[in-house]
Amino acid sequence: MLHHSVPRKFEIGDEVQLISTVIEVLPSGRARVSIPSYGQAYAVDPPPRTRAGDKVVLVGDVIGVDCQANRLKVRIDCGGVITVNPSSVNKLKKHRQLGWG
């Protein structure tokens, strides 16, 4: 039997998580993190006692899906919007559509 990977389908409203790596902790207490497939450092408020090299989980909601470019636009809970590859995120909760009756 042939096995192939099934592409993960993301929809607007899905809750997702991204695993970022702390690059450095700034004197202000914020941390610069590297997010896979984002391409630039991003500043977040890290948990206490965070050091460079630690992993930080960012949680957010999908606000845009570009299937042609294979990119997701995610509004992360710490207030920003980033665009990443779907392979960089893990789906936590599927968006539920509310039905009538």
Q: Is 75 exposed, middle or buried (0-12, 13-18, 19+ CB in 10 A)?
A: middle
Q: Are 70 and 86 in contact (CB under 8 A)?
A: yes
Dihedral angle computed from the Cα positions of residues 56, 60, 62 and 64, in that order, rounded to the nearest 10 degrees: -80
pLDDT at 64: 94
**pTM above 0.85?**
no
pLDDT tens digits, residue range 9-54? 889 999 999 999 999 999 999 999 999 999 899 999 999 999 999 9
